[in-house]
Amino acid sequence: MLARLITDESGATAIEYGLIVALIAIAMIVALQSTGNELSTTMSTVETTLGGNNTV
Protein backbone atom coordinates (compact mmCIF):
# COMPACT_ATOMS: atom_id res chain seq x y z
CA MET A 1 0.00 0.00 0.00
CA LEU A 2 2.84 2.41 0.83
CA ALA A 3 4.57 1.68 -2.49
CA ARG A 4 1.36 2.45 -4.38
CA LEU A 5 0.96 5.70 -2.45
CA ILE A 6 4.53 6.76 -3.24
CA THR A 7 4.20 6.05 -6.97
CA ASP A 8 0.77 7.70 -7.26
CA GLU A 9 1.24 10.95 -9.19
CA SER A 10 -2.38 12.05 -9.50
CA GLY A 11 -1.95 14.66 -6.77
CA ALA A 12 1.09 16.13 -8.50
CA THR A 13 -0.82 16.29 -11.78
CA ALA A 14 -3.70 18.10 -10.09
CA ILE A 15 -1.27 20.63 -8.60
CA GLU A 16 0.34 21.19 -12.00
CA TYR A 17 -3.04 21.84 -13.59
CA GLY A 18 -3.90 24.19 -10.74
CA LEU A 19 -0.70 26.16 -11.31
CA ILE A 20 -1.38 26.40 -15.04
CA VAL A 21 -4.91 27.69 -14.39
CA ALA A 22 -3.56 30.23 -11.87
CA LEU A 23 -0.98 31.53 -14.37
CA ILE A 24 -3.62 31.86 -17.08
CA ALA A 25 -5.89 33.73 -14.67
CA ILE A 26 -3.10 36.15 -13.73
CA ALA A 27 -2.31 36.79 -17.40
CA MET A 28 -5.98 37.46 -18.12
CA ILE A 29 -6.31 39.88 -15.20
CA VAL A 30 -3.24 41.84 -16.32
CA ALA A 31 -4.47 41.98 -19.92
CA LEU A 32 -7.97 43.06 -18.94
CA GLN A 33 -6.68 45.76 -16.59
CA SER A 34 -4.54 47.18 -19.38
CA THR A 35 -7.47 47.08 -21.80
CA GLY A 36 -9.73 48.73 -19.22
CA ASN A 37 -7.27 51.57 -18.67
CA GLU A 38 -6.96 52.16 -22.40
CA LEU A 39 -10.74 52.10 -22.82
CA SER A 40 -11.17 54.60 -19.98
CA THR A 41 -8.66 56.94 -21.60
CA THR A 42 -10.39 56.62 -24.98
CA MET A 43 -13.80 57.36 -23.48
CA SER A 44 -12.42 60.40 -21.66
CA THR A 45 -10.98 61.66 -24.93
CA VAL A 46 -14.31 61.16 -26.71
CA GLU A 47 -16.16 62.92 -23.90
CA THR A 48 -13.78 65.89 -24.04
CA THR A 49 -14.03 66.05 -27.83
CA LEU A 50 -17.84 66.01 -27.78
CA GLY A 51 -18.11 68.72 -25.17
CA GLY A 52 -18.33 66.81 -21.95
CA ASN A 53 -21.07 69.07 -20.51
CA ASN A 54 -23.88 66.56 -20.94
CA THR A 55 -24.90 64.46 -17.97
CA VAL A 56 -26.60 61.11 -18.16
Using CA atoms, how far residue 36 sits from 26, 49, 56, in Å, is: 15, 20, 21
Nearest Cα residue to 9 out of 52, 40, 17: 17
Distance between CA atoms of residues 31 and 45, nearest Å: 21
Structure confidence at residue 2 (pLDDT): 65
pLDDT, residue 14, reads: 84
State pLDDT tens for residues 2-50: 677 667 677 778 888 999 999 999 999 999 988 888 888 899 999 888 8
